[in-house]
Amino acid sequence: MTPRSQVAGCGAYLPERIITNHELAGRLDTSDEWIRLRTGIGERRVAAPGELTSDLAVRAAERALSAAGMSGSDLDLLILATATPDNTFPATATKVQARLGMRHGAAFDVQAVCAGFIFALSVADNALRLGQARTALVIGAETFSRILDWDDRGTCVLFGDGAGALVLRAVPAAQPGGRFILSNHLHSDGRQYDILYVDGGPSSTRSTGVLRMEGREVFRLAVQHLSSVVDEALTANGLTAADIDWLVPHQANSRIIDGMARKLGLAVDKVVVTIEHHANTSAASIPIPASYRPSSLAANPETKDTSWNVPSFLFKNRKFGHESFAIAISIQPSLLKSASTTPIPLASGFPTPDASLTSVNVPSWLLRKSLIRCPL
């Protein structure tokens, strides 16, 4: 019987340095009110000098492995999604591999910007289904602060640094309960290459460059495509929008997801949002909200201990023992289906989604989605 990919654990990490909207307003023509109204962002995290993408990735990976009850030596495959690698080569994933103590299997990077995590998840899922690996670690990690023009208020206010990770293990498809990836649907449209890009690279300029964006065009295309890709994900699994209990969006822009949620007929309290606390972390934007538990920050402000937990908060306040569905979207929807009667301890303190913070916006030529089955 063909094995399926079960989600064994997840974790995330944000750098300690916080840049608030008020701090940016002190040197840019902007304000906290202007940023919140247009994006839902209140602050972003920035990596410390000398803190690399690999450092963020390792911290998130360690937490994911701990949640799964595994160590690096248990892994057969490690895929790191990032647009901000430590070096052009070797792959940043190999640095993470060495630091985690993974001594066999393969480790490599995937570069698909905000779509990267779902692309990487799809590759890992296929490897487990084909028997090429038994356990896989998928990481999204970015230090976007290093490729921003901090004098451009149209882009620098939108992004932040961070990392998130998910551990997968192959299990028999007939195994009851569990968190299974049901299917993957990947899309790209190269015609939109120039609406969100970095104006540098080894082959073109021999330099890194900085992020450039046509914000209105990205917004327009995102709104146009979001509902259609959600419909594709639902149709592939014989579901409708009425079956969805939770929408977990890529954390980038409040107005886009708010509009899409209205199209789907989803109530605001069904949308999970964390963008206020970390801005758009690109490839890390899906696994971070899947692991987020801010209560420890509130309880332990002096230590700045950013704690994380299994994505069980997705089902908070739901009744156990019935079919429950959640869909996570970053222009790519991810559908989580639950049929288990065994509850997972809920992450405490997760903020109630607010209409003004419902968020998503991403390179619109990257449309990707992953369907995941999770037990309550």
pLDDT at position 41, please?
96
What pLDDT is recorded for position 195?
Answer: 94
Q: What DSSP string runs through 1-63?
A: --EEEEEEEEEEE--SEEEEHHHHHTTSS--HHHHHHHH---EEEEPPTT--HHHHHHHHHHH
The reported pTM is 0.82
pLDDT at position 31 is 97
The bridge status of strand 324-329 relative to strand 244-249 is parallel
- For tokens 């490839």, name the residue: 283
Which residue out of 10, 21, 156, 250 is catalytically annotated?
Answer: 250
User: For residue 279, is it left (φ>0), alpha (ψ between -120 and 50) or beta?
Assistant: left
Active site residue 10: no
**Local structure of residue 346 (DSSP, 8 states):** P
> Which amino acid is located at 230 in the chain?
V
Reply yes or no on whether 21 is catalytic.
Answer: no
Instruction: Out of 114, 309, 361, 374, pick the active-site residue.
Output: 114
Note whether 295 and 376 are within 8 A (CB): no
Show the tokens assigned to 236.
Answer: 């592939």
The span from the CA of 331 to the CA of 195, in Å, is 15
Residue-level pLDDT at 305: 38
287, two tokens = 């696994």
Residue 265 CB contacts under 8 Å (≥ 6 apart), including other chains: 241, 242
DSSP string across 253-285: -HHHHHHHHHHHT--GGGB---HHHH-B-GGGT
pLDDT per residue as tens, the chain (376 positions): 789 999 899 999 999 999 999 999 999 999 999 999 999 999 999 999 999 999 999 999 999 999 999 999 999 999 999 999 999 999 999 999 999 999 999 999 999 999 899 899 999 999 999 999 999 999 999 999 999 999 999 999 999 999 999 999 999 987 666 567 877 878 788 999 999 999 999 999 999 999 999 998 988 887 777 777 777 878 888 878 887 777 777 787 888 778 778 877 878 777 777 889 999 999 999 889 877 654 432 323 333 333 333 333 232 223 223 334 555 454 444 444 332 222 222 222 323 333 222 222 222 223 334 554 433 2
- Residue ranges and CATH numbers for the domains of the chain are 3-172 (3.40.47.10), 181-274+285-373 (3.40.47.10)
Query: Which of 21, 253, 280, 309 is labelled catalytic?
Result: 280
Is 250 labeled as catalytic in the residue annotation?
yes
Amino acid type, 204: S
* pLDDT in the model for residue 343: 25
In sequence order, what are the residues at sequence separation of 6 or more whose Cβ sits closer than 8 angstroms to the Cβ of residue 71? 65, 100, 101
Task: Tell me the pLDDT tens digit for each residue of 183-205.
Answer: 787 878 899 999 999 999 999 99
Q: Where in the chain does DSSP place strands (E)?
A: 3-13, 17-20, 43-46, 77-81, 106-110, 135-143, 161-172, 181-188, 196-198, 211-213, 244-249, 324-329, 333-338, 366-373
